[in-house]
Amino acid sequence: MSSPDASRRAILQSGGLVLAFTLLRGGRALAIASPRQQPVDGAAAAADRHPAFAPNAFIRIDHDGRVRLVVPNVEMGQGIYTGEATLLAEELDVDLDQIRVEHAPANEALYASPILKRQVTGDSASTRGAWRVLRQAGAVARAMMVSAAAEKWNVAAASCSVERGVVTHRSSGRRATYGELALAASKQPIPQNVTLKERKDFRLIGKPWRRLDSAGKVDGTIEFGIDVRIPDMQIAYVVSSPSRGGKVKSVDDRRARAVPGVKDIVRLESTVAVTANHYWAAKTAAAALDIEWDAGPNGGFSTEQLFRDMERNSGTGQAIVAIDTGHTALGEERMEAIYQFPFLAHAPMEPLNATVHVRPDACEIWVGTQAPQRAANVAALLTGLPLQKITVHNRYLGGGFGRRGEEDSVGMAVAIARKVPYPIKMVWSREHDIQYDIPRPAFLSRIAAAVDREGYPAVLTARVTGASVTRRFAPAALRSDGLDEDTVAGVARTPYELPNVKVDWVRHDTPDAIPVGFWRGVGPGRNLFTVETFMDELAHAAGKDPIEYRRALLRNNPRALGVLNLAAERFGWGKTRSAARTGCGVALGEPFESYVCAMVEVAVSPQGEIRLLRAVGAIDCGIVINPNTIEAQMQGGLLFGWGAALYSELTFIRGGIRQSNFHDYRVLRINETPPVEIAIVDSDASPSGIGEVGTAIAAPALANAIFVATGVRIRTLPISRNLLSERGAEKTVMSPGAK
């Protein structure tokens, strides 16, 4: 086995916080998810044991007639396997009960997202990117099957029809299944042009299908990454430096080695791993390690200092302008506000894990990942093996939220597996999973407006200050002037008709050993809070109802106005009178090319405790693939966002994260969950994003409801109970629009 360059190896052995993907990035994908065969598709079909029919990367029909759909995106609870299978099956003219869905292998040339330009599931881009590609893939395969049947019967292809994977010659009644036609169809020329169905002809798209993976998740037959078992596997438990970027100074492992079941103690630069024949032995031995740490360069890093530095940099740092329509001088008569957003952990229910077997001539990885190619790349970097010798067996993900788009945990597992002669399954403890998260970045945002005589914004300016995730994760996606458009998403473009707007970004990085990552909702998850709570302040300052205020600014945006009106109708806005310390709030946005409105009613106790009473979400995400999925994703996204706004925060002290588990990194609980009604707009537009939409719009609706209930404006998340208590509110109640 060849060895990677020592300096690159050190990057990946420094505890798993990997920035090394860029070393292997090598430009963008060779091809982007094509419905027709690509140069590398033949090799992919061969690796799949030469199915009888493989017209593109997505469809396999075996000699026994089984139809398999290779789904380019990964399933992490969002229902994408069912949604994308529906797109393929619709045009292939098979039903969902006839197909088997499979994980796509690591192959960026075949499975890169048309939107993200790489093999990553995220940014609510799966359906947006697959809408035409997967339908065309199904249509291509169907056309080849029909051509094979027509040639066999010596009839015109137009005289044949297809139903449930059976081709029928209408006048003679001759029939042939896809399985019977598979070999002949594989020899047909691939059509360059296919006609897709019109919406009125859809049989599957738009129907409320049960998810394909539901039964397997109920009976336990579906395998997640943490479920993997392979022969001779040992469990690896890891302990890393309390300070990010710290190093192991010394290890006394005598007590640890005495624990029954322990196999090896593996020392990396900033991590020590214990391998054993079961998890409890590895965990017990790890607790018995006597480790002396070198805190490294970040031993003094703290969240408190970071926010002080960001506030100073926000006023003096160099800004990159995202949008400037001119005439944006505010003058003396203005309203303004400053918002502060914390670091956030992803905390998926399945903690990070990876099973790895490194041999002299190959490396196999079993993992649930949002980015299979990144996992393969990091393994190649560490082992020195060529990419074709790296195999990634993807599995279902027990939650991702962006965290499983990173390759650091896989890199750590590979680094451990290289040092032992047997396969290992590394499972992070909940504490390690939270404390070594690649968190959502902390941000500080300023927004200001000058209003006209009727109280509407004549000028709106905003400045966001914080770190760029894109700069680390996908630097090629930065704008030519260095702007990370994610940092201003949701504020540089709003649903409203605003005559004069200026938005810019001041970059403020965290240390290299404390990288930041994408978190469900990404940029809109922060910026919609800034815009929508500030818009509410402007409405109250103008003495106008928040709904009517927004309606006046949406005259030329019928889709946004449509979701606002639909939500108001379902919610009964203004028809009920709130009791003391209760209130209703609204928020509106256009994240991920969708149009969304959330309304929520809350009650706030004299002690500042918040109870969510009821909520409505309205969504226009274009043509609906499966209404069940839309409802579930909206409900789940709203609850995820409200939980974060109410409870979630990561704080750094002495270079490490203070929180460690769900006792001090709270999530929303079942008894805290309100009834949530979802209203879906019937739309003919192309499908848009849904997985992160609810999360992005949740917090501002909640904050606006809290203002109505208490008179307190929320400008720092998570929400302070002390601020909302009757005693605290006496000192903090603000008149609408106050700075």
Q: Please tell me the predicted confidence (pLDDT) of residue 183.
A: 97
Bridge partners of 457, per DSSP, are: 451
pLDDT at 729: 56
Residues whose CB falls within 8 Å of the CB of residue 287, separated by 6 or more in sequence, listed in order: none
**pLDDT attached to residue 726:** 78
pLDDT of residue 575: 87
Using alpha carbons, select from 145, 154, 158 the residue that is nearest to residue 186.
Answer: 145
HEC string of 382-434 equals: HHCCCHHHEEEEECECCCCCCHHHCCHHHHHHHHHHCCCCCCEEEECCHHHHH
Query: Residue 728: its pLDDT value, please?
Result: 63
Question: Which CATH number describes the domain made up of 41-212?
Answer: 3.30.365.10
Phi, psi of 130 (to 5 degrees): -90, -15
Report residue 307 as tokens: 């926010």
Q: Do domains 225-297+352-427 and 443-732 have the same CATH topology?
A: yes
Q: What are the residue boundaries of the structural domains of the chain, listed by start?
A: 41-212, 225-297+352-427, 443-732
The CATH code that applies to domain 443-732 is 3.30.365.10
Q: Would you state the structure tokens that stand for residue 367, as one six-digit string?
A: 């993992």
- What architecture does CATH give domain 225-297+352-427? 2-Layer Sandwich (3.30)
Taking the chain (739 residues) in runs of 10, the rounded mean pLDDT of each run is 41 39 39 78 87 95 92 96 97 96 95 95 96 96 98 98 97 97 97 95 97 95 97 98 98 98 98 98 98 97 98 96 91 90 98 98 98 98 97 97 98 98 98 98 98 95 98 96 98 97 98 97 98 98 98 98 98 87 97 98 97 98 98 98 98 98 96 98 97 98 97 97 79 37
pLDDT at residue 328, as a whole number: 84
Q: Given the DSSP bridges, would you call strands 234-240 and 247-252 parallel, antiparallel or unpaired?
A: unpaired
Residue type, 496: Y
- Tell me the pTM: 0.94
The beta strands (E) that lie in 178-295 are given as 234-240, 247-252, 262-267, 271-276, 290-294
Cα atoms found within 13 Å of the Cα of residue 96, Cβ hemisphere only: 18
